[in-house]
């Protein structure tokens, strides 16, 4: 089992993969080899030194996924500073707050976002650099960087007069117990906290990935998840970079149409996704085929049905680029109907479970070992327990401890204290059970669980998963109002328009959907009413619905 210091993993990767391609910005001619990335990092280290950046200083990073974003991130952590990645989808008040709360003294930011920021709200910031070319946007105290940055190339050549070689790559020697990333959560509760992630947390995730996956130098990856979030950062970026992969950064909203084209061009070896992508593909590409009356009959004939499923599987494989070995779903639960179909056609999809506070992974199993409707097996470097009288049958809060668990929340002792039990276990806030092999099965969030009048636990996520698969429903939210369960529904208006339906027709469909749903759930889970919402529900950057806004 590989055990290496987090920073030294990248020092080794840059040396070993010096001439391999490292980053490409999709749809552009911008590409970097590992050699070129290492040179850019070396130049930024010279600049950090000029800015008097010290070990442990905070550097903020705000912008869309690009090669420059990745270079700024790597330059920060390999220098010994702490990176503060901020989702560009956060509102300006949150961005101001995070920069100020984290005490970031230097920032990399896209020009468009910088133009909207108010300097008086980020008084600790000393320097701001553009993500488009690392040019100076702002310096608080003096004008020396204006003259220094144009000379950076000369300073670089003076430092490496014999040329930049693999032996020139030497990064900070810092204990893995130190904080490397300060990652602010984008939860559904409306309160963002700074998660203190150490090198040890990150190396735990990367070591697990190294031991379970087969990526190697030159393998291709398509990065389309937000890298400011731990899921995308850990596996599409950090793990892939530590193995010498060629990472293509999509840098666009990952609609199924855009993704299909990118998958075909990049042909990634490993694909990481959020449930929404697979659910949209299932709803748009597969459901229209398998719900036709003639097709339903054909699928019930064993030989013919197997051939049809094989053709669907082939069509799906092409849509994902044909070269992938595994599709990993994380970030939120995968709809059970969608999961069942993918496994029925033997499509290599598995679901993992994690959270920002674990950088992010808690449990995962390869497709070959994956237990349906679980979130995989708890990692060897982690422990799990269920706060329940019968953890195998009765759902309770999932609690974990181990190598991947954060130090705590930055400058928030109360939140840290409330998140850990007295005996040191992290309270995830998720409800679930485990089996004898430590596979985790999630039922829902403890904060969203509804207690019925008869004392039954109701998990709205499970009801919503069934509702979302019914006709003309784009997304739904089940809430309790005056003792009754109400389903808030945002209809699929594109499908409504295509069907030539009016408002009265749509209401009839929803009445039928309510009847269908209530025939699928327990008596205490039946909904009293469907209320239509014309706009999509407001979401976090991870695309989780902000439930607290609708209760």
CATH number of the domain where residue 492 is located:
3.30.300.30
In a domain, 247, yes or no: no
Question: Residue 158: is it exposed, middle or buried by C-beta count within 10 angstroms (0-12/13-18/19+)?
Answer: exposed
Q: Assess whether 292 and 332 both reside in one domain.
A: yes
In this predicted structure, what is the pLDDT of residue 88? 87
In this predicted structure, what is the pLDDT of residue 547? 75
Whether 461 and 449 have beta carbons less than 8 Å apart is answered as no
Boundary of a domain, candidates 424, 445, 466: 445
Boundary of a domain, candidates 173, 199, 225: 199
Instruction: Give the whole-angstrom CA distance, residue 358 versus residue 230.
Output: 9
**Length of the chain measured in residues:** 551
Q: Assess whether 116 and 156 both reside in one domain.
A: yes
Q: At what angle do helices 460-467 and 503-518 cross, to 10 degrees?
A: 130
Residue 251 DSSP code: -
The tens place of each residue's pLDDT in the chain, 551 residues long, gives 456 799 999 999 999 999 999 999 999 999 999 999 999 999 999 999 999 999 999 999 999 999 999 999 999 999 999 999 998 878 788 899 999 999 999 999 999 999 999 999 999 999 999 999 999 999 987 668 999 999 999 999 999 999 999 999 999 999 999 999 999 985 444 457 899 999 999 999 999 999 999 899 999 999 999 899 899 999 999 999 999 999 999 998 888 889 999 999 999 999 999 887 888 888 888 888 888 888 888 888 888 989 999 999 999 999 999 999 999 998 777 888 899 999 999 999 999 999 999 999 999 999 999 999 999 999 999 999 999 999 999 989 999 999 999 999 999 999 999 999 999 999 998 989 999 999 999 887 766 767 665 556 687 888 888 899 899 999 999 998 887 899 999 999 988 998 899 989 999 999 999 999 998 887 878 999 999 998 888 876 666 787 767 87
In a domain, 219, yes or no: no
Q: Assess whether 409 and 468 both reside in one domain.
A: no
Strand boundaries in 231-359, DSSP class E: 246-249, 270-273, 326-329, 349-351, 353-354
In a domain, 426, yes or no: yes
Q: Assess whether 433 and 485 both reside in one domain.
A: no
Q: Assess whether 440 and 536 both reside in one domain.
A: no
Phi, psi of 359 (to 5 degrees): 60, 30
In this predicted structure, what is the pLDDT of residue 187? 47
In a domain, 374, yes or no: yes
In a domain, 145, yes or no: yes
In this predicted structure, what is the pLDDT of residue 446? 63
CATH number of the domain where residue 414 is located:
3.40.50.12780
Q: Assess whether 314 and 436 both reside in one domain.
A: yes
In this predicted structure, what is the pLDDT of residue 458? 80
Q: Please name the residues in contact with 163: beta carbons below 8 A apart, sequence gap of 6 or more.
A: none
Instruction: Give the whole-angstrom CA distance, residue 208 versus residue 3.
Output: 10
Q: Assess whether 347 and 405 both reside in one domain.
A: yes
Tokens of 464: 């919503």
Hey, is 551 helix, strand or coil? coil
In a domain, 49, yes or no: yes
In a domain, 246, yes or no: no
- Say how many CA atoms lie within 13 Å of 367 toward its Cβ: 18
Q: Assess whether 311 and 413 both reside in one domain.
A: yes
Hey, is 231 helix, strand or coil? helix
| Structural domain boundaries, residue 530 | 458-549
In a domain, 241, yes or no: no
- How many structural domains are present in the chain? 3
Q: Assess whether 439 and 462 both reside in one domain.
A: no
Q: Assess whether 304 and 417 both reside in one domain.
A: yes
Boundary of a domain, candidates 393, 414, 445: 445
- Find, among 287, 246, 289, the residue nearest to 266 by Cα: 246
Q: Assess whether 66 and 165 both reside in one domain.
A: yes
Question: Residue 211: is it exposed, middle or buried by C-beta count within 10 angstroms (0-12/13-18/19+)?
Answer: exposed
Q: In what order do the strands lie in the sheet with 473-481?
A: 473-481, 484-491, 529-532
> Which residue reads 């004008």 in tokens?
143
Q: Assess whether 297 and 401 both reside in one domain.
A: yes
């Amino acid at each position: 089992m590989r055990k290496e210091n987090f920073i030294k993993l990248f020092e080794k990767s840059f040396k070993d993969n010096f001439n391999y391609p490292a980053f490409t910005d999709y749809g552009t001619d911008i590409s970097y080899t590992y050699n070129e990335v290492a040179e850019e990092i070396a130049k930024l280290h010279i600049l950090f030194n000029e800015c008097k950046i010290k070990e442990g200083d905070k550097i903020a990073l705000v912008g869309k996924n690009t090669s420059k974003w990745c270079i700024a991130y790597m330059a920060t952590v390999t220098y010994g500073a702490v990176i503060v990645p901020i989702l560009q989808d956060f509102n300006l008040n949150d961005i101001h707050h995070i920069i100020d709360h984290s005490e970031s003294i230097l920032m990399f930011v896209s020009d468009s976002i910088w133009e909207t920021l108010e300097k008086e709200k980020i008084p600790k910031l000393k320097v701001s650099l553009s993500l488009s070319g690392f040019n100076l946007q702002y310096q608080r105290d003096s004008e020396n960087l204006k003259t220094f940055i144009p000379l950076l190339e000369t300073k670089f050549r003076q430092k490496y007069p014999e040329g930049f070689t693999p032996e020139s790559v030497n990064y900070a020697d810092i204990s893995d117990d130190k904080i490397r990333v300060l990652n602010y959560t984008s939860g559904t509760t409306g309160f963002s906290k700074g998660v203190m992630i150490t090198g040890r947390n990150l190396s735990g995730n990367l070591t697990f990935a190294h031991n379970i996956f087969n990526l190697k130098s030159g393998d291709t990856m398509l990065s389309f998840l937000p890298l400011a979030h731990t899921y995308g950062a850990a596996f599409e970026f950090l793990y892939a970079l530590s193995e010498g992969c060629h990472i293509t950064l999509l840098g666009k909203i990952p609609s199924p149409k855009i993704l299909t084209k990118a998958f075909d061009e990049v042909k990634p070896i490993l694909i990481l996704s959020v449930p929404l992508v697979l659910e949209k593909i299932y709803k748009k590409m597969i459901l229209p085929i398998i719900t036709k009356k003639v097709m339903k009959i054909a699928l019930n004939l064993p030989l013919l049905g197997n051939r049809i499923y094989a053709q669907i599987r082939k069509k799906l494989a092409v849509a994902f680029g044909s070269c992938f070995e595994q599709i990993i779903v994380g970030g939120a639960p995968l709809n059970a109907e969608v999961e069942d179909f993918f496994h029925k056609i033997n499509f290599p999809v598995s679901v993992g479970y994690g959270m920002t506070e674990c950088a992010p992974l808690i449990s995962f199993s390869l497709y070959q070992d994956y237990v349906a409707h679980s979130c995989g097996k708890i990692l060897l470097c982690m422990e799990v327990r269920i706060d329940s009288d019968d953890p195998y049958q009765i759902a309770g809060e999932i609690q974990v401890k181990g190598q991947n668990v954060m130090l705590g929340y930055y400058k928030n002792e109360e939140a840290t204290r409330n998140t850990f039990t007295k005996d040191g276990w992290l309270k995830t806030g998720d409800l679930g059970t485990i089996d004898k092999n430590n596979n985790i099965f999630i039922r829902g969030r403890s904060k969203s669980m509804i207690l019925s009048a008869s004392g039954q636990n109701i998990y709205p996520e499970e009801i919503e998963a069934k509702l979302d698969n019914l006709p003309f429903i784009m997304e739904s939210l089940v809430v309790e109002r005056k003792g009754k369960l109400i389903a808030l529904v945002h209809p699929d208006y594109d499908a409504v328009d295509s069907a030539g339906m009016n408002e009265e027709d749509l209401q009839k469909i929803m009445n039928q959907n309510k009847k269908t749903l209530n025939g699928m759930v327990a008596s205490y889970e039946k909904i009293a009413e469907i209320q239509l919402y014309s706009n999509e529900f407001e979401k976090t950057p991870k695309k989780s619905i902000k439930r607290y806004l609708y209760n």
